[in-house]
Amino acid sequence: MSARIVCIGECMVELRERPDGTLTRGHGGDTLNTAVYLARLGEHVDYATALGDDPWSDEMVRHWRDEGIGTSLVRRIAGRLPGLYVIQTDTSGERRFVYWRDSAAARTLFDQPDVADLIDALSGYDLLYFSGITLSIYGAAGRTALFAAVDAVRVRGGRVAFDTNFRPRGWPDRDVARATYREALARADVVLASTEDLEPLFGPDGTHELAAHAGHAECVLKFAHPAVRIGSVDAGSVIAAPPVADVIDTTAAGDSFAAAYLAARLRGFSPAEAAAAGHRLAGIVVRHHGAIVPRDAMPLDILLPAALPHEA
């Protein structure tokens, strides 16, 4: 029987700016992107968020169901709208985001009258996945409720995965951000971190923040160059990514890596093999525009590595 996974966070309307200034519309968000790729890799995954009662929210839910994502934990809030962001990409595929999300429905997920029922429902999953962006959209009470759900998952024997995705604009008070991240790291069984997240948050030696959690968590540290270190911050195995020459858009590279890594680990692959699978999927995603690539762009053998990855 496959594991039951729940991803928690926010999905927004996505507008991608073309070179001529015109826009194309889609939708995305870090944990939603991961949920889509998990579902495409054959995992049983549900998404927990709040949306409005508008046509764009309707469209999102239809799309998620078409992707095979469960939507029983999607709350619909009358009079609210989803957030919105615009992506601009430069000639090397690096992206810039501009957001409109302060009153987005997703921020109210843990403010609803049925929050106790939601926490109970979340506690029944085998793996709960959330990110630093997830944490940033809730207030103090919402984060307390989320951590209650995280604790309940672990009490019932489930596991928790935390992706450190750190966006400074989401955290006006950096001290609150650091304290909240430490709470999340202390509860996680799997940490998907990056130097690009930890150093702006904790300082030049930010990666050593993971050291306090290496004893209880499987730590995967992504570097600015395409490689990850698994295990010890100073002496773990380094798994390099194959070079990708034709990068178009790096949106969702990390989200897709997380999906393939977690799916591979759930299927019994070693951390090194899981990292190789993550690199392979991310290498496909960055060759396409937007967060979600066409279905036919994903090869069927992502979780069947042809050879053990290189370790250094």
Query: Which of the residues are catalytic?
Result: 255
| Residue 87, beta-bridge partner list | 16, 97
Give the amino acid at 179: A
238 near 228, Cβ under 8 Å? yes
Give how far Cα 270 sits from Cα of 92, 206, 303, Å: 33, 26, 11
* Burial profile 147-158: b = 16 or more Cβ within 10 angstroms, e = fewer: bbbbebbeeeeb
Q: Give the residue carrying structure tokens 């984060």.
A: 143
Q: Is 127 helix (H, G, I), strand (E, B) or coil?
A: strand
Nearest to 298 by CA among 312, 309, 306, 287: 287
Give how far Cα 97 sits from Cα of 42, 86, 88, 140, 251, Å: 30, 6, 7, 25, 10
The C-alpha atoms of residue 67 and residue 45 are separated, in whole angstroms, by 10
127 near 6, Cβ under 8 Å? yes
The C-alpha atoms of residue 272 and residue 245 are separated, in whole angstroms, by 23
Per-position DSSP letters for 238-298, written without gaps between them = EEEPPP-S-----TTHHHHHHHHHHHHHHTT--HHHHHHHHHHHHHHHTTSSSSS--GGGS
Q: What residues contact residue 149 under an 8 Å CB cut-off, 6+ apart? A: 118, 119, 122, 123, 128
How many whole angstroms from its chain centre is CA 206? 20
Start-to-end CA span in the chain (Å): 35
